[in-house]
């Protein structure tokens, strides 16, 4: 014996509720990621940051946000490169860039090195 549902499901309302739930989950993931990082819970930070990215991928494209953790990644890469010696301590360029424009010569001043790096030095 087949029974039919007494309720009519409106797909538009279900989609709207799902969308709002994704937005809420994404916002909660951001809050929890920041809280985890502030408490030195790096593994939990990674979990919540990756959750934020996944929720952001699931919302419609016109409602997606820029990754709030991108600046953390850039900062971590800069720390890594400085620790590994990949950046010049004088001008902040990569060692390869400094070698290409000759910044690492001891007779070049910091002002001249910055001007060379910015492309403002003609001599």
Predicted confidence at residue 108, as pLDDT, reads: 45
Instruction: Using DSSP, state whether 94 is helix, strand or coil.
Output: strand
- Segment 3-59, tens digit of pLDDT: 666 666 666 777 888 889 999 999 999 999 999 999 999 999 999 999 999 999 998
Predicted confidence at residue 60, as pLDDT, reads: 87
Predicted confidence at residue 37, as pLDDT, reads: 94
Predicted confidence at residue 75, as pLDDT, reads: 83
- Segment 101-111, tens digit of pLDDT: 765 553 344 55
Predicted confidence at residue 29, as pLDDT, reads: 97
Q: What is the mean pLDDT of residues 85-104?
A: 66
| Residue 88: count of CB within 10 angstroms of its CB | 19
Number of H helices and number of E strands within the chain? 5, 0
* Residue 57 near residue 23, CB atoms below 8 Å: no
DSSP state of 32: H
* Residue 37 near residue 46, CB atoms below 8 Å: no
Predicted confidence at residue 122, as pLDDT, reads: 56
Bigger pLDDT: 45 or 76?
A: 45
Rounded to 10 degrees, what is the CA torsion of 27, 28, 29, 31? 90
């Amino acid at each position: 014996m087949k029974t039919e549902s007494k309720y009519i499901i409106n797909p538009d309302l279900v989609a709207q509720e799902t969308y709002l739930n994704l937005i809420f989950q994404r916002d909660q993931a951001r809050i929890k990621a920041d809280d985890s990082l502030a408490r030195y819970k790096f593994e939990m930070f990674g979990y919540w940051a990756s959750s934020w990215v996944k929720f952001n991928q699931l919302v419609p494209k016109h409602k997606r946000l820029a990754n709030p953790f991108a600046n953390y990644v850039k900062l971590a890469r800069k720390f890594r490169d400085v620790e590994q010696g990949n950046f010049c301590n004088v001008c902040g360029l990569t060692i390869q860039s400094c070698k290409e424009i000759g910044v690492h010569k001891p007779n070049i001043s910091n002002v001249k090195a910055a001007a060379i790096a910015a492309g403002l030095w003609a001599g």
